[in-house]
Amino acid sequence: MASPRETGAGNVEYDLIYMLYHELQGNENLAQYERDANQSGDNEAAQLFRDLRESNKQTVDRARSLFAKRLGRQH
């Protein structure tokens, strides 16, 4: 992991940003997978991708909240 001097962010802050980025990216991918499944008529797979995306949204909300708290501490 890069040091705070290299990135301008502490390790936990960096980790939260990194995780948020990848969760959001994953949700984009899951939305595409859901569309693909719907187009091929695979309702079971579409539901799985939809459920995973909803679960990830909850994770994103939690991480955003934690990140916002940490930003508030800096001021």
- The model's pLDDT over 10-43, given as tens digits with 9 standing for 90+, comes to 788 888 999 999 999 999 999 999 999 999 999 9
Evaluate whether residue 1 is within a structural domain. Answer: no
Evaluate whether residue 3 is within a structural domain. Answer: no
Evaluate whether residue 5 is within a structural domain. Answer: no
Q: Is the pLDDT of residue 65 over 80?
A: yes
User: Which amino acid type is present at position 44?
Assistant: E
Range of the domain at 63: 10-73
Distance CA 55, CA 58 (A): 5
Residue 70 pLDDT: 84
Q: What is the end-to-end Cα distance of the chain in Å, rounded?
A: 25
> What percentage of the chain carries pLDDT values higher than 90?
65
Evaluate whether residue 2 is within a structural domain. Answer: no
Evaluate whether residue 14 is within a structural domain. Answer: yes
Evaluate whether residue 68 is within a structural domain. Answer: yes
Residue 19 pLDDT: 93
Evaluate whether residue 43 is within a structural domain. Answer: yes
> How many distinct structural domains can be found in the chain?
1
